[in-house]
Amino acid sequence: RMCVDYRELNKLTIKNRYPLPRIDDLFDQLQGSSVYSKIDLRSGYHQLRVREEDIPKTAFRTRYGHYEFQVMPFGLTNAPAVFMDLMNRVCKPYLDKFMIVFIDDILIYSKSVKEHEEHLRLILELLKKEELYAKFSKCEFGV
């Protein structure tokens, strides 16, 4: 994947202090679960549109011309925090119940296969409604 050198822009950016979850806290939620599914969002950041007024800030040049991102590019200092905030808002009803989100990775955990089928259905419907797309080849279901 392409990554533009945004070091100069990042120096000028007011840092978003949105907390990323601690991995050990996430693992604590899995106690008692026996069925898991992993969903990997396809090019996660690229599923977020850049605000119209910020598009010129993403500009870069190549020998082929001048370009500007209309979706969140990799390399921006606040990209992980902005994406994590979006995912937490979208997934709020299910977080700490049967779903863990870490940036663009989703883990669904359940105590039984039957329960897991329902959890998976709810999350897939949510992703469809929010127009968030998974990379099927990187997903694992019911393991």
Answer yes or no: is 81 within a domain. yes
**Which residue segment(s) compose the domain that 102 sits in?**
15-47+76-138
Which pLDDT belongs to residue 121? Answer: 97
- Backbone φ and ψ of 39, nearest 5°: -120, 125
Answer yes or no: is 33 within a domain. yes
Name the residue among 49, 116, 126 with its Cα closest to residue 90. 126
Answer yes or no: is 70 within a domain. no
Which pLDDT belongs to residue 70? Answer: 95
Answer yes or no: is 117 within a domain. yes
Answer yes or no: is 56 within a domain. no
**CATH number, domain with residue 86:** 3.30.70.270
pLDDT, one tens digit for every residue, the chain (143 residues): 677 899 999 999 999 888 777 888 888 889 899 999 999 998 878 888 999 999 999 999 999 999 999 999 988 888 888 888 899 999 999 998 999 998 889 999 999 999 999 999 999 999 999 999 999 999 999 88
The Cα 48–Cα 39 span in angstroms is 17
The Cα 116–Cα 103 span in angstroms is 22
Cα-to-chain-centroid distance, residue 103? 4
**pTM of structure:** 0.81
Answer yes or no: is 35 within a domain. yes
- DSSP structural state of residue 142: -
In three-state secondary structure terms, 50 is coil
The Cα 9–Cα 39 span in angstroms is 32
When divided into structural domains, the chain yields a total of 1
